[in-house]
């Protein structure tokens, strides 16, 4: 992240598009956000500086006012915050040689932030915390051991079927296809999901996290994802839903996770109620 001198925020804003804004489409809704254009002084921006947050859509950089929520967080968010704090505390207890081993493992891990040209990688601290969270999501929270980064398989997920196993709880059957691995059995599907009105776009703040009940058993899988209290979570009681998903794999051996992919589909529940 850049280190900005005093009054640099004003300077950055002065380098925004001459038109001031740029429009983009998300789902069925159109949004207008100020766009940042690279220049000789600053090639790119991400994260937050002052009261501005920079973000990327389709490789283009935009900025918006930094969110400053007044609510303390949902119970789920607070639980994740405590897990994160335990991960940070666990890192500090490691011997320095072990931390250096984590740094060496992280050199092969591509960064999730720009530039996306393969010239950068994450730190050992990033990889350790990610693995800690990965095991916690598998309900196996513990201090992970450093392990070499292995390329994740190519993954595709699609909707197969849904039924209501008990009032208010949906059981989704999702098809997961893997390619490029000799051991598909070590991977578990992790999904962030939003149910909304048919045809509506996604809202990242309304996505909730779910985990498949079982690991993959081969290269072509039908996995189960349980969604309890779905009407209460999204405040909707509809015969059909637009479902937006961000999905990825968790390596149950290392705790490592790959980069999210996205998909959306329509789901009819009127015949299962």
pLDDT digits 0-9 by tens, 209-221: 999 999 999 999 9
pTM score = 0.74
Q: Point out the residues of the chain with pLDDT beneath 50.
A: 1-21, 23-30
pLDDT for the residue 253: 97
Q: Going from the N-terminus, what domains does the chain have, and what CATH number goes with each? A: 10-65 (no CATH), 75-137 (no CATH), 154-268 (2.60.40)
pLDDT for the residue 39: 87
Total Cβ atoms within 10 A of residue 213: 12
Spell out where the chain has E strands.
22-26, 29-33, 35-36, 47-49, 52-57, 60-65, 154-166, 169-179, 187-196, 208-211, 220-227, 240-251, 261-268
pLDDT digits 0-9 by tens, 73-111: 788 888 999 999 999 999 999 999 999 999 999 998 887
With residues binned 3-state (H G I as helix, E B as strand, rest as coil), the percentages for the chain, rounded to 5, are 20, 35, 40
pLDDT for the residue 166: 87
pLDDT for the residue 265: 97
The pair of three-digit structure tokens given for residue 265, joined into one six-digit string: 């589909």
pLDDT for the residue 273: 52
């Amino acid at each position: 992240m850049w280190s900005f001198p005093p009054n640099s925020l004003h300077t950055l804003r002065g380098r925004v598009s001459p038109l001031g804004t740029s429009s983009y489409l998300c789902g069925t809704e159109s949004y207008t956000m100020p766009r940042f254009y690279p220049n000789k002084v600053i090639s790119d921006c991400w994260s937050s500086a002052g009261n501005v947050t920079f973000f990327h859509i389709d490789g283009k950089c935009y900025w918006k006012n930094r969110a400053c929520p007044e609510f303390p967080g949902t119970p789920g968010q607070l639980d994740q915050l405590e897990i994160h704090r335990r991960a940070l505390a666990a890192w500090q207890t490691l011997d320095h040689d072990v931390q250096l081993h984590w740094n060496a493992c992280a050199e092969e891990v591509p960064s999730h932030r720009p530039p996306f040209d393969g010239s950068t990688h994450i730190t050992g601290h990033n990889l350790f915390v990610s693995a800690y969270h990965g095991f916690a999501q598998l309900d196996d929270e513990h201090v992970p051991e450093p392990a070499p980064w292995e390329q994740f398989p190519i993954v595709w997920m699609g909707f197969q079927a849904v039924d209501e196993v008990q009032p208010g709880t949906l059981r989704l059957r999702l098809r997961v296809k893997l390619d490029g691995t000799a051991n598909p059995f070590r991977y578990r599907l992790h999904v962030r999901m939003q149910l909304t009105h048919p045809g509506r776009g996604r809202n990242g703040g309304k996505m909730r996290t779910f985990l498949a009940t079982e690991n993959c058993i081969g290269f072509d899988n039908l996995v189960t994802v349980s969604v309890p209290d779905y009407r209460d979570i999204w405040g909707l009681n509809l015969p059909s839903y637009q479902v937006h998903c961000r999905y990825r794999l968790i390596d149950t051996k290392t705790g490592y996770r790959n980069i999210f992919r996205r998909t959306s589909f329509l789901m009819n529940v009127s015949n299962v109620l």
